[in-house]
Amino acid sequence: MSVDMKKNLLLFVFIVLNYCINTNIVFAQIYPIKYVKETLDNGLTVIYSQDKSAPVVSTVIMYKVGSKDEISTQTGYAHFFEHLMFEATENIPRGAMDSYVQEAGGELNAATSFDKTVFYFQLPSNQLKLALWIESERMRKLKVESLGVETQRGVVLEEIKQTTTNQPYGTLLQKTMENLFAGTSYGWEILGYEKNIAAATIENFQNFYNNFYQPNNAILSISGDFDLKETKALVREYFGNIPKGVEPKRNTIEIPQMTKQYRESIYDEKVQLPGVFISFRGPAITSTDYFATSLLTDILANGESSRLYQRLVDKEELAVEVTIEPIILQDVGIFLVYGIASQGKSAEKIEKIIYEEINKIIKDGVTDEELSKAKNIIETKFITDKKNSLSIAQSLAEYQNYFGDPGLINTEIDKYLKVTKNDIVKVAQKYFGTDKNVTLFYLPKSNKK
């Protein structure tokens, strides 16, 4: 062996070893995420995860209430409270919440889904008390009164108008939920109906608040740079004296079988390019099928190397966009496959090819390379999501909410890595090998004959 060859071989070995060492360091820094969980006497679940790598702390409080907990005449209430929680409390004046947090160098936000509502703070670690104080105020001391309610009613009604009425494809989620889950409280979109928000009384809102925003219906997750003993004492100081509420009346949902496909063409002057949107029912996040289905969606339509993108966008140039959007629910799942047609191309042709590619997977399976790449994508996301205090706090709360086990933050990835090619074929057949779905075509109004 020549000297140059020896040098090259040594260089190669060095690079490989360096990569392996650095990779192990990354994993060592992330795994396992250590945490402590406790439940206060009033039923509040609290999760603590210390990470002193940066002088930052994050809090997440997750209430077990979402749009599925509403009734058909009171839709949009959970989302409304996402807004109202930024109004006044007994000890915080209107408009002060944001300014307190900004002056402390932090940020705050919130989000509502079908199953839960989440409020979060990210602050310098010496400002943890501020976040805990605000959240304790909002939990049972929110002022559900005329000024705040009417202000946020106007904001929410405008949001519904801007995101639904005035947007191309804006009614997509509403029509999907109405037809995919007709007769259940999953049968409306998170924002709800304008008429319900417009008609809601202060008494309606107060009753909703009293039912769901209680310590025994919440998870508090704290991650970052803090002292555990001191923080436990602070949690008791701010939340320990809040009395346990009545057991919240959450809706129990029985998902009816779909007996046929729902198809509709919507002609809209705001739509410039035709689109086809196919919504399949999928597994709940707690189902063992969920992991294989998630990998299948990456193989089928997520990213430029996916099957549908390669064929519809790159090869045949029929679409400018194609993807799958998973909608995660506690009781069931949704996988929305859609394609936006290129100028002058047909949405019906896109639909045909979507089914062709699904059927190819059912018939012929996927390759080792495709499955390996999909697992790498999941693994990268799994690692990336554990690199800051806010994402850790959110993940711990999610795992507690859905599974009752925050420890899955360290082990759930193993369930993805164990998925086989045969598992992919099985879930493709089970969830995508059917025409019992909701298929919506959004078309330019000029196309209507």
pLDDT of residue 170: 95
Give, rounded to a whole angstrom, the gap between the first and last alpha carbons of the chain.
77
189, with CB counted inside 10 A (0-12, 13-18, 19+), is buried
Is 288 among the domain residues?
yes
Dihedral sign for Cα 192, 193, 194, 199, please. negative
The reply to whether 84 falls in a domain is yes
Torsion sign across C-alpha atoms 315, 316, 319, 325? negative
Residues 230, 273, single domain; the answer is no
366 vs 17: CA distance, rounded Å = 32
Is 23 domain-assigned? Answer: no
- 190 in the same domain as 155: yes
Assign 83 to helix, strand or coil: helix
322 exposure class (CB count in 10 Å sphere: 0-12, 13-18, 19+): buried
Q: Are residues 123 and 164 in the same domain?
A: yes
Per-residue pLDDT of the chain (449 residues; tens, 9 = 90+): 443 434 443 333 333 334 343 434 344 445 699 999 999 999 999 999 999 999 999 999 999 999 999 999 999 999 999 999 999 999 999 999 999 999 999 999 999 999 999 999 999 999 999 999 999 999 999 999 999 999 999 999 999 999 998 899 999 999 999 999 999 999 999 999 999 999 999 999 999 999 999 999 999 999 999 999 999 999 999 999 999 999 998 998 888 889 899 999 999 999 999 999 999 999 999 999 999 999 999 999 999 999 999 999 999 999 999 999 999 899 999 999 999 999 999 999 999 999 999 999 999 999 999 999 999 999 998 998 888 999 999 999 999 999 999 999 999 999 999 999 999 999 999 999 888 999 999 999 988 87
Same domain, 182 and 121: yes
pLDDT for 29 equals 46
CA distance 130 to 222: 13
Flag whether 252 is in a domain. Answer: no
Residues 307 and 439 in one domain: yes
Q: Residue 303 and residue 186: Cα distance in Å, rounded?
A: 29
Output the pLDDT for position 447: 83
Give dist(CA 404, CA 397) in Å, integer.
9
- Assess whether 295 and 442 both reside in one domain: yes
Report the pLDDT value the prediction gives residue 206, as an integer from 0 to 100. 98
Q: Are residues 51 and 141 in the same domain?
A: yes
Q: Is residue 18 part of a domain?
A: no
Please state, in angstroms and rounded to a whole number, the distance separating the CA atoms of residues 113 and 94: 25
Render pLDDT for 65-114 as a digit per residue (tens, 0 to 9).
999 999 999 999 999 999 999 999 999 999 999 999 999 999 999 999 99
Residue 159 lies in a domain: yes
Q: Which residues contact 435 (CB under 8 A, 6 or more apart)?
A: 261
Q: Are residues 302 and 221 in the same domain?
A: no
| Strands (DSSP E) found in 173-285 | 218-224, 262-268, 275-282
Per the structure, the count of domains in the chain is 2
368 and 226 belong to one structural domain? no
Q: What is the pLDDT of residue 31?
A: 64
pLDDT of residue 446: 87
SS3 content of the chain, % helix, strand, coil (to 5): 50, 20, 35
pLDDT of residue 30: 53
Residue 117: name the closest of 398, 399, 404, 408 by CA.
398
Task: Yes or no: say if 392 and 51 are a contact pair by the CB < 8 Å rule.
Answer: yes
CATH number for position 380: 3.30.830.10
The answer on 367 and 231 residing in a single domain is no
Same-domain check for residues 204 and 274: no
Verify cis geometry, omega within 30 degrees of 0, for the bond prior to 406: no
Domain final residue, candidates 207, 239, 271: 239
Are residue 412 and residue 318 in the same domain, yes or no? yes
Domain residues for 277? 262-447
Asked whether residue 249 is assigned to any structural domain, the reply reads no
Residue 234 is classified by DSSP as H
CA distances from 234 to 10, 239, 330 (A): 56, 8, 32
In a domain, 7, yes or no: no
